[in-house]
Chain A
């Protein structure tokens, strides 16, 4: 079975593209997922995943790259979440829940009124085997940009996530770095949507970082370990899904989830 997978991998370009795109988004997700977890923004990645559906569907209707429509709605959702959060009568999860549900509903209504129901499953669960060469180049370039931006600002982003009051007291613009992280994270989440779908994108982004957090003692190690887990599970998940004719995204995330629960059960309780 492994021999067949390797043989097909060397032969079929679509499989090579699928594997490369999964490896790239695994690495990018380890970075943004780790920041999301330590900043308490894991739920926001879920909201973002759902919130971009109208953008994805409209992009399909108007035949523009999905990334463009998703970006517009991703930033719109982020903006709305932050505006509602300013209202002291609501806790953070209220804004996330409302934006998530409203945008998801808008997307679903557009899907059913525009006759795109056949593609809806692919929007929800993704299809890594349909990633094109153009998509892969886009994913590669954006992944490089995300990792480079985070690397160049790593110390400051880390300090802002670790201790914003102290960061502010030594003159760092906390708001500026939080915005930078929000922009980078939004783009990173959208990057993974075509491969794993809007429903599971947040799980793809945060689960490996959460697993890594269980045994990592520094933030850099947390990101690196999450990337290693992501790469291994992506290869393994693609192999299993290809061999047993299962959807790749959910198979990979199932592996991510199982690994998390194993690590959680055997964690060292301090």
Chain B
């Protein structure tokens, strides 16, 4: 379980969080929902200890793997998808099958489509066999078929009692993909099992009158 207490973060004079406290349940596929600039990416970065913060984030020694919003790899580097995965763990057969990557395994990461490249990066993160998986808008530029494959792979991880947190912007798929939702807009608007918290009031309170 991830326990966050009194988390405060600010960029220059812009306060992102002021004493935010939240616990994330273990073994759940958690959707982090909020408008642009609500602090979703900042929260993920803080859990991954990428940015300085005050307060406490207790992950009880768990190992973290993360997939970034935009691919961060060096495009001039010669790297096939097979090599990318082998470098982490050569036992990648199951993940490759789930994500339908077998046909592009020997292609360079820069030669495949955006969706396939993102699936390869998801596969790399899953091969780390971490306890907590952090995904910051992993579906940018990913087609619907690949999106479903990625969530199928994530659900397999949850079945192994792993905690998966996904920052997500497509409100139409929340019910389909997530067990648990956290509505965030600089503070926690609501959190709980999807069927309990996914309602118009929480969406409106999170996204405002523009929804």
Contacts and interface: CB of A to CB of B under 8 A. Distances in A.
A161 B78 contact: no
A146 to B, nearest CB: 21
A163 B128 contact: no
Interface string B119-139: 000001000100000000000
Given A218-B83, A270-B111, A166 B73 contact: yes
Q: Which 5 A-B pairs have the closest CB atoms?
A: A165-B72, A163-B73, A162-B77, A169-B66, A38-B77
Contacts of A155: 87
A38 B76 contact: yes
A213 B78 contact: yes
A162 B64 CA distance: 20
Most chain B CB neighbours (cut-off 10 Å) among A159, A218, A221: A218
B192 to A, nearest CB: 29
Contacts of A222: 78
Interface string A37-51: 111100000000000
Interface in B95-136: 106, 108, 111, 124, 128
A221 B108 CA distance: 14
Interface in A204-249: 213, 216-219, 221-222
Interface residues of A, number: 24
Given A158-B87, A170-B65, A219 B76 contact: no
Contact of B76 (A37, A169, A218): A37
A133 interface: no
A176 interface: no
24 contacts: A37-B76, A38-B76, A38-B77, A38-B78, A40-B76, A155-B87, A158-B87, A162-B74, A162-B77, A162-B79, A163-B72, A165-B72, A166-B124, A169-B64, A170-B65, A213-B78, A216-B78, A217-B78, A217-B106, A219-B77, A219-B78, A219-B79, A219-B83, A270-B111
Given A165-B68, A166-B73, A169-B50, A159 B78 contact: no
A169 B77 contact: no
B80 interface: yes
Contacts of A217: 78, 80, 106, 108
Contacts of B149: none
Contacts of B78: 38, 213, 216-219, 221-222
B74 A166 contact: no
A169 B108 CA distance: 23
Interface of chain A, main secondary structure: helix
Interface string A118-140: 00000000000000000000000
Contacts of B48: 169
Contacts of B80: 217-218
Given A37-B76, A158-B87, A166-B68, 12 more contacts: A39-B74, A161-B74, A162-B73, A162-B74, A162-B79, A165-B68, A166-B73, A170-B65, A170-B128, A217-B78, A218-B83, A222-B78
A127 to B, nearest CB: 34
A155 B84 CA distance: 11
A217 B124 CA distance: 19
Nearest to A270: B111
B62 to A, nearest CB: 13
Contacts of A162: 73-74, 77, 79
Contacts of A170: 65, 128
Contacts of B128: 170
Contacts of A213: 76, 78
Interface string A159-191: 101111110111000000000000000000000
Interface in A8-42: 37-40
A217 B80 CA distance: 7
B73 A161 contact: no
A222 B77 CA distance: 10
A131 B21 CA distance: 68
A163 B87 contact: no
Nearest to B87: A155
